[in-house]
Structure 1
Amino acid sequence: MKSNLPDITVIILTFNEEIHIRRCLESLQNIAKKIIVVDSYSTDKTKDICEEYHVDFYQRKWNHNHAEQLNWAIDNCKIDTLFTMKMDSDEYLTTELIGEIIDFFKTNNIFKYNGYILKRGLIVKGRQIKHGDFKIQNLLRIWKTGQGRSEERWMDEHIQLENPSLYSFQNLFFDENLNSISWWTQKHINYARREALDYLLSKYTNQFKNSDQVSNTSAKTKRLLKNNIYDKAPLFLRAFLYFIYRYFIKLGFLDGTQGLIWHFLQGFWYRFLVDVNIYELEKAMDKNPQKINEFLKENKIQ
């Protein structure tokens, strides 16, 4: 553990992230006393790169659920700093945010809050996305150790805190995935099946009855809008309407070619694919909640 650094342990989940992990680790060197990587048995150079940075490296089988893997890390990886932080491998902190965190953690203000909001920007094919209602995401990414856990969902999980007292940093960090569109679409084919399962479990069971009780106000608002407006709109039609809203009404076209790629694939193609999965699964399960649980047992969700 490094001394004279903010009292933060960062958790990163990895699988074949050699293209991203060095950039992520470099950005964390000056704001974390400890970095924990929980790897799902990568077959590339992820482990070798992590060893260069002397992180605490664990390997654990992927059980097809990000929340479950993160909560395992929280419970089992010996976090002994005052705060815990979550980062994805394809994310990195800007110099401005690094300086802001360092300065803030030198003050006694850190004891006033048990959670910290970081503002995430998105870069697609070398261009920051600034329109389409997708400019910035406010995410609860740092929390007082022992007080935060991930919601147990298949998709769109957030950190939950009891009695949250939150502070928001002003500078950005970025999500910039460097993989090909072929890789991205394959990954989102799997995501679509998971999100469809979340939808059906919410519709037919009580599994997510408290799903709107997330600690982050902006995340809670987004989920309430999705639950109460988007999810109540007709299957398939809502994907068209959402794309029109993002690309035309919210000026997503101003992001150029990269904006067209992003808003069409993430705002229409992916949302339409989720609806196809909902339609297919709901029909196969005959709207029977028990069959949803049987499906989860019999099928691997990757």
Structure 2
Amino acid sequence: MNPVFSFIILTFNEEQHLPRLLNSITKLNAPVFILDSGSTDQTLKIASDFGAVLQQNAFENHPKQWDFALKNFEIKTPWIIGLDADQVVTPELFNQLANFREEDYQDINGIYFNRKNIFKGKWIKYGGYYPKYQLKMFRNGIGYSDLSENMDHRLLVSGKTIIWKKGHILEENLKENDISFWITKHNRYSDLVADEEIERMRNLRGQTVRPKLFGDPYQRTAYFKNLWWKLPLFIRPFIYFGIRMTFQLGFLDGRTGILFHFLQGFWFRLIVDMKISEKLDKNKNEQIK
């Protein structure tokens, strides 16, 4: 068994995706820990057949699910790799992990992987979606889940981090090829984001990551989110979509890519703003009564 790193994977009805991910990492011979949130398909059987350590926890949001996983699995390896079930480790990234030596990273606490996002079989290369660095590998006991947001989830570390620009994790949710699934999923997410933003308006929620334009990937994200929260509702989706289409060259992703940018960069953001407005109006009316 690999003595250096273990995998944690979150699942919910992932029979389409889990075999694909497990097959991409099986030859690394690393311990696998799976936190499931109530699957009713073959996910648990697939995980059990693979020999993964299984736990279940009711899902509230991704940050809290990762927090539960990190606090409740007994992981012995010095490093942890956190993956989503719809991701796959590419051969080039596999080779980097296979050749990973603890002694080469003595002063490092976290490693960013480069992600490729696939939508309806199309690699979304533009619109700010590539390169996309996510902190996926971190020291056991140092990495933790950022609980400052309801939907966006990230794993954080204190101390020094590095970026692996070569090799990728491929992220492709095959269930999202059905547009009804995509809409239902993001309608649910829009409630989480709307509630979160209202809490921010009332100074009930802050940011864990220090915003910094020229900082690490997550600090840059925090910087632009700070700008986003200051923009007027209903105007900002038009600004964001326009930037993705023009300055970030989203139009080069072709018909499928433009559809993705419209759904993710405009439709979803507009629905969030509508729900924020509705919730604020409802709260005002309740206070008047």
TM-score by length of 2: 0.91
**Is the Cα contact below 8 Å between 1:140 and 1:159 reproduced in 2?**
yes
**Is the Cα contact below 8 Å between 1:93 and 1:173 reproduced in 2?**
yes
Q: Does 1:168 align with 2:166?
A: no
Quick one: which amino acid aligns to residue 29 of structure 1? T
Stretches of structure 2 lacking an aligned partner (at least 5 in a row): none
- Aligned residue for 1:142? 137
**Is the Cα contact below 8 Å between 1:243 and 1:267 reproduced in 2?**
yes
User: 1:107: Cα distance to partner?
Assistant: 5.6
* Seq. identity, %: 32
Instruction: From 71, 90, 95, give the equivalent of 2:91.
Output: 95
- Aligned residue for 2:224? 225
Q: Deviations over 1:197-220 (max 9, x none)?
A: 111112213421545369x81121
Q: Does 1:109 align with 2:108?
A: no
Cα gap change, 1:287/1:225 in structure 2, threshold over 3 Å: closer, same or farther?
A: farther
Quick one: which amino acid aligns to residue 92 of structure 1? V
**Cα RMSD between the aligned structures?**
2.0
Quick one: which amino acid aligns to residue 128 of structure 1? W
Q: Deviations over 1:62-87 (max 9, x none)?
A: 2x121112111111111111011110
Q: Deviations over 1:180-230 (max 9, x none)?
A: 22111111101111111111112213421545369x811211121121x22
- Aligned residue for 2:189? 191
Quick one: which amino acid aligns to residue 263 of structure 1? H
Moved more, 47-56 or 262-271: 47-56
Cα gap change, 1:8/1:213 in structure 2, threshold over 3 Å: closer, same or farther?
A: farther
Cα gap change, 1:32/1:66 in structure 2, threshold over 3 Å: closer, same or farther?
A: farther
* SS of structure 2 residue aligned to 1:112: coil
Instruction: From 164, 168, 174, give the equivalent of 1:178.
Output: 174
List 4+ stretches of structure 1 deviating above 3 A.
209-214
Moved more, 153-162 or 233-242: 153-162
Quick one: which amino acid aligns to residue 16 of structure 2? I
User: 1:160: Cα distance to partner?
Assistant: 2.2
Instruction: From 58, 63, 83, give the equivalent of 1:61.
Output: 58
Instruction: From 49, 68, 71, give the equivalent of 2:67.
Output: 71
Stretches of structure 1 lacking an aligned partner (at least 5 in a row): 292-302
* SS of structure 1 residue aligned to 2:174: coil
Instruction: From 126, 144, 160, give the equivalent of 1:131.
Output: 126
Separation in structure 2 between the aligned mates of residue 35 and residue 112 of structure 1, nearest angstrom: 25
Separation in structure 2 between the aligned mates of residue 91 and residue 59 of structure 1, nearest angstrom: 20
Separation in structure 1 between the aligned mates of residue 282 and residue 36 of structure 2, nearest angstrom: 34
**Is the Cα contact below 8 Å between 1:8 and 1:32 reproduced in 2?**
no
Quick one: which amino acid aligns to residue 16 of structure 1? N
Q: Deviations over 1:26-66 (max 9, x none)?
A: 1122335211111112111111111221111112222x121
* SS of structure 2 residue aligned to 1:30: helix
**Is the Cα contact below 8 Å between 2:146 and 2:208 reproduced in 1?**
no
Q: Does 1:258 align with 2:256?
A: yes
- Aligned residue for 1:52? 49
**Is the Cα contact below 8 Å between 1:8 and 1:31 reproduced in 2?**
no
- Aligned residue for 1:241? 239
Instruction: From 264, 267, 270, give the equivalent of 2:268.
Output: 270
Separation in structure 1 between the aligned mates of residue 43 and residue 241 of structure 2, nearest angstrom: 36
Separation in structure 2 between the aligned mates of residue 32 and residue 266 of structure 1, nearest angstrom: 36
* SS of structure 1 residue aligned to 2:243: helix
Separation in structure 2 between the aligned mates of residue 40 and residue 207 of structure 1, nearest angstrom: 26
**Is the Cα contact below 8 Å between 2:186 and 2:268 reproduced in 1?**
yes
- Aligned residue for 2:283? 285
**Is the Cα contact below 8 Å between 2:37 and 2:57 reproduced in 1?**
yes
User: 1:287: Cα distance to partner?
Assistant: 10
